[in-house]
């Protein structure tokens, strides 16, 4: 199994409803340093997993939609509990859409799986990994 | 598959019997920066893998028992060869106990797997990953 | 010159008024991984710069006041432009107060300078360094 | 599953033929910080996955052959497109050879899988993971 | 003293003439993760050291001129011994030019000093720090 | 001011006498990831601060004397309180000796200052910085 992973980041505000979140129920914020890993069984043309330039562009475009915002007020996230885990899945689904829409180029048709990691501090992070449907 | 990973650390002394360990046969020590990852197929209530506050508390309690000690003299480790690999498993088993004892709360019943990583320097680390029996 | 540096973190929301801030004028957030370095010319009793346990406790107490909050609504920061640079100074002043109030113990009387660094992402950070008045 | 991972690095020049590589078609270079992880289901004698000293030596020997060189002129890589992904596989195959040749010692017969990661910058890395044939 | 530091990177080939460089006399390459720190005694308008967006843009433009190239063939570096130390100074001088040309905006007139760090591997880095002439 | 910094590590046991050390009064241990920075005002011959290969060798030799040992039993450290701060100074003094003995080569005569940092965990480190007497 081959993989390539790229990194970008977002800075968001949000609040988390539910007793389990303690002080995070208040409006606060986070820097999420976001890693997206693309997996495939065999290398494609050009000996690559994915066009890394397009992967970085697609990640930037995906993150742009939720960067420098208060997620509590974001139309696409209305009523959602925007935990780090949830946001991993949100980025995963948008990146999978980008692959299907051809935004990562022809190489990306061979991508089997993807993993999205959100690093939220020096002591905590979360990720979501799954197969990519084509 | 979703995952959440949290970090803490311990500072221990020990010695490792066996020619394979070279100079590490002498009494020496290590800082282990410990990462514990919790995995589950689907998110539970509150869109989380685990209550991260309780996870950090359980990890601190687990590590407390072996922090600032000489492992060679530790009753629970008598006669054991306390390699980094062995200690990964030791922390894994204690954390699995903590889950079964309810110390990580109700969310933790959904945890499928766990991975315990001990980072011992900027050039070496070890981990143990396995299913969690409930 | 000797130094000891300790680390903790906060997760805050805020907005930054002023054209120079571009999208950061909107309500957003940040994880700040906070490093505080204590400097002194010569080591004191016990061969230490500062009691590291007390230093970590004082940092946690200082950060507690601004952790998991929207800085725009924080009474102590009313009307302030809470840039990363400003927040470095804010933490510096509170930590200097803690030293003068004896919260870092007797060793801390020898501290000459302090530096507070706020790491806001994998590509940006800020710090403030100055002498500590006793 | 247990794992041990060790780190070393190389500094190489190369160029990448193909439009997909954009400016990387020109002769340029990279520092690759190389991590090799060894996996096995159960610990062997001495409670270890592998003799970490021998693993580091074998990695250094493997990397020596391609360190401080222009990969475009390297006999073993003639006509190859030396992407990061390709180089992960190259290091993997050489390390698997080293295991089979006994260079990692008797413990290494129990190694099930291996993963080779090449970190090429603070925002990109690649890896190759597969079973090790004995 | 306040400071803000931003990060970007380049991937270059070069060779270093002179016995002291050992195998680095051969054509090889490096990823340099580049940090530029801007220092000033007091914060300017908007409570900032520098417009961080412009600083990142100026750094990208500076690095663009030497990114994905063989420094041995670069017109601006003809006959130079392009050690990491030398390249720190090269980036410093270009960034100081950018400040004087107004590319970092009006805030940048208050910048007293600058430090340019090139991280070349997980075990080595170099930097150059000096006053900025306006 | 130019600087070059190199990294290595040690794994030691020790205990710290004195109430201020709390649980660290017990025999425990630490991995110290050691960074040594060499400073000079102007570059010497070959556009370098120091011969980095010799610097790494001298650091390895210095650390060898205290690696994989119990510092409480080390003849050179008898009766000393081996805090992280103290050990920074110990490494500094040995490295300054190495410079004066010519072990870092002819380039090293130009070194003005040195800084030795011991990283002891992901949340704490110490350093000692001073002029180097020739």
Q: Which residues of F touch A122 (CB under 8 A)?
A: 122-123
Phi and psi torsions of C131, nearest 5°: -70, 155
Backbone angles phi, psi at C45, to 5 degrees: -55, 150
D3·B124 Cβ contact <8 A: no
Sign of CA dihedral D86, D88, D92, D95: positive
Name the residue among F3, F7, F105 with its Cβ closest to that of E126.
F3
The answer to whether chain C touches chain F by having 3 or more C-beta pairs less than 8 angstroms apart is: yes
Q: Which chain B residue has its CA at the smallest distance from F66's CA? A: B28
Gap between the Cα atoms of E124 and F8, Å rounded: 10
Whether B20 sits inside 8 A of D105 (CB atoms) is yes
Chain C neighbors of A13, CB-CB under 8 A: 13-14, 27-29, 70
Question: Which residues of C fall within a CB distance of 8 Å from F82?
Answer: 47
Q: How confident is the model at residue A45 (pLDDT cuts 50, 70, 90)?
A: confident
- Is C129 close to E3, i.e. CB distance below 8 A? yes
Chain E partners within 8 Å of F3 (Cβ): 126-129
* Phi-psi label, residue D105: left if phi above 0, alpha if psi -120 to 50, beta otherwise: left
State how far the alpha carbon of A127 is from the alpha carbons of A35, A98, B56, C34, D5, in Å.
9, 19, 17, 24, 21
Ranges in chain E, pLDDT < 50: none
**Torsion from C-alpha of C78, C79, C85, C90, nearest 10 degrees:** -30
B14 neighbors B27 (Cβ within 8 angstroms): yes
pLDDT of residue C42: 96
Q: What is the mean pLDDT of residues D24-50?
A: 96
Residue F130: is it exposed, middle or buried by C-beta count within 10 angstroms (0-12/13-18/19+)? Answer: middle
In contact, B117 and D35? CB cutoff 8 Å? no
Determine phi and psi for E40, rounding to 5 degrees.
-155, 150
Q: Give the other-Cβ count within 10 Å of E122's Cβ.
A: 17
| Residue D45 pLDDT > 90 | no
Residue B44 is predicted with a pLDDT of: 83
Residue C87's pLDDT is: 98
Cβ-Cβ pairs closer than 8 A, B with D, add up to: 54
Instruction: Closest CB to F7: pick one of E89, E123, E127.
Output: E123
The pLDDT of residue E78 is 84
- Which run of H or E residues covers position D8? strand D2-14
pLDDT at position C130 is 98
Residues in chain D whose Cβ is within 8 Å of chain E: 7, 9, 11-14, 23-24, 26-33, 67-70, 73, 120-123
Q: Count the residues in chain C.
A: 134
**What 3-state class would DSSP assign to D65?**
coil
**Number of other CB atoms surrounding residue D134 within 10 Å:** 11
pLDDT at C78 over 90: no
> How much helix, strand and coil, in percent to the nearest 5, is found in chain D?
40, 35, 30
Please spell the DSSP secondary structure of chain B, one letter per residue.
-EEEEEEEEEEEEE---SGGGGGGGSSEEEEEEEEEEEEESS--GGG-SS-HHHHHHHHHHHHHTTTTSBGGG-GGGTT----HHHHHHHHHHHHHHHHHTTTT-GGGGG--EEEEEEEEETTEEEEEEEEPP-
Among F13, F121, F122, beta carbon nearest to B27: F13
Yes or no: say if F91 and F62 are a contact pair by the CB < 8 Å rule: yes
Task: With a cut of 90, say whether residue D2 has pLDDT above it.
Answer: yes
Question: In terms of CA atoms, which chain A residue is nearest residue C122?
Answer: A33
Mutate to test the interface with C, among F127, F131, F132 (most CBs of C within 10 A): F127
pTM over 0.80: yes
Judge whether residue C69 has pLDDT over 90.
yes
CB contact under 8 A, F49 and E89: no
Q: Could you read off the pLDDT of B67-118 as tens digits, one per residue?
A: 999 999 999 998 999 999 999 999 999 999 999 999 999 989 999 999 999 9
Cα dihedral across residues E41, E44, E46, E52: positive or negative:
negative
Of E7, E24, E30, the CB nearest to D31: E30
DSSP 3-state of D80: coil
CA A22 to chain CA centroid, Å, is 25
The pLDDT of residue E19 is 95
Q: How confident is the model at residue F78 (pLDDT cuts 50, 70, 90)?
A: confident
Chain C residues near residue D123 by CB distance under 8 angstroms: 122
Query: What DSSP character marks residue A48?
Result: -
Query: Of E81, E122, E130, which is closest to F47 when you measure between CB atoms?
Result: E81
F12-30 average pLDDT score? 97
Do chains C and B have 3 or more beta-carbon pairs under 8 angstroms?
A: no
Supply the pLDDT for residue A86: 98
Q: What is the pLDDT of residues D50-86, one digit of tens each?
A: 999 999 999 999 999 999 999 999 999 989 999 999 9
The whole-angstrom separation of Cα E41 and Cα B117 is 43
Helices (H) and strands (E) in chain C, counts: 2, 4
Integer Cα distance of D76 and D87 in angstroms: 12
Inter-helix orientation angle C52-64/C84-100, to 10°: 130
The whole-number pLDDT of residue C45 equals 83
| For chain A, percent of residues with pLDDT exceeding 70 | 100
Q: Identify the contact set of chain B against chain D, taking CB-CB distances under 8 A.
A: 18, 20-22, 80-86, 88-89, 122-130
Q: pLDDT class for F45, splitting at 50, 70, 90? A: confident
Q: Do F49 and E85 touch (CB under 8 A)?
A: yes
Q: Name every chain E residue with its beta carbon within 8 A of the beta carbon of C125.
A: 4-5
pLDDT at residue D48, rounded to an integer: 97
Which pLDDT value is given to residue B128?
Answer: 98
Say which of B46, B53, B105 has its CB closest to residue A81: B46
B interface residues, E as partner, C-beta within 8 Å: 122-123
Confidence (pLDDT) at C107: 86
- F-contacting chains (≥3 CB pairs under 8 Å): A, B, C, E
**Alpha-carbon distance F38 to nearest alpha carbon in chain C (angstroms):** 15
Give the gap in angstroms from C-alpha A13 to the nearest C-alpha of chain D: 24
Crossing angle of helices B52-64 and B84-100, rounded to 10°: 130
Average pLDDT, chain D: 97
CB neighbour list of residue C2: distance below 8 Å, 6 or more residues apart = C39, C40, C41, C42, C43, C49, F85, F88, F89, F126, F127, F128
Chain D residues near any Cβ of chain C (below 8 Å): 122-123
A32-53 average pLDDT score:
96
Distance from the first to the final alpha carbon of chain E? 18
Residues of C with CB under 8 A from a CB of E: 18, 20-22, 80-86, 88-89, 122-130
CA of residue C28 relative to chain centroid, distance = 20
> Chain F closest CA to A124's CA: distance in Å?
13
Q: Find out whether F67 and F11 touch, Cβ atoms under 8 Å.
A: yes
Share of chain A above pLDDT 90, in %: 95
Average pLDDT over residues C33-47: 95
> Do residue C51 and residue F127 have CB atoms under 8 angstroms apart?
no
CB contact under 8 A, A28 and C68: yes
- The distance of D4 to chain E (nearest Cα, Å) reads 19
CB-CB under 8 Å, B121 with F27: no
Instruction: Note whether E touches D: 3 CB pairs or more under 8 A.
Output: yes
For B102-115, the pLDDT digits (tens) are 999 998 999 999 99
How far apart are the CA of C121 and the nearest CA of chain D, in angstroms? 12
Report chain D residues touching chain B, CB-CB < 8 A. 1-8, 43, 46-49, 51-53, 56, 105, 107
Please list the alpha-helical segments (H only) found in F16-103.
Answer: 52-64, 84-100
pLDDT score of D44: 82
**pLDDT level of residue A67 (50, 70, 90 thresholds):** very high
Spatial neighbors of C110 by CB under 8 A, at least 6 apart, are C40, C42, C44, C49
Summarize the confidence of residues F17-29 as an average pLDDT.
97
| Chain segment D105-131, per-residue pLDDT in tens | 988 999 999 999 999 999 999 999 999
pLDDT for position B16? 98
Shortest CA gap D32–chain A (Å) = 14
CA distance, residue D118 to nearest chain C CA (Å): 19
């Amino acid at each position: 199994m081959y993989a390539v992973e790229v990194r970008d980041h977002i800075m968001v505000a949000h609040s988390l409803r539910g007793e389990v979140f303690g002080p995070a129920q208040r409006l606060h914020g986070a820097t999420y340093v976001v890693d997206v890993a693309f997996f495939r069984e065999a290398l494609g043309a050009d000996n690559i997993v994915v066009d890394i330039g397009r992967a970085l562009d697609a990640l930037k475009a995906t993150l742009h939609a939720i960067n420098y915002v208060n997620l509590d007020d974001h139309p696409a996230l209305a009523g959602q509990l925007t935990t780090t885990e949830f946001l991993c899945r949100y980025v995963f689904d948008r990146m999978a859409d980008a692959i299907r829409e051809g935004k990562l180029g022809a190489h990306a048709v061979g991508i089997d799986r993807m993993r999205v990691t959100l690093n939220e501090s020096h002591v905590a992070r979360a990720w979501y990994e799954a197969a990519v449907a084509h």
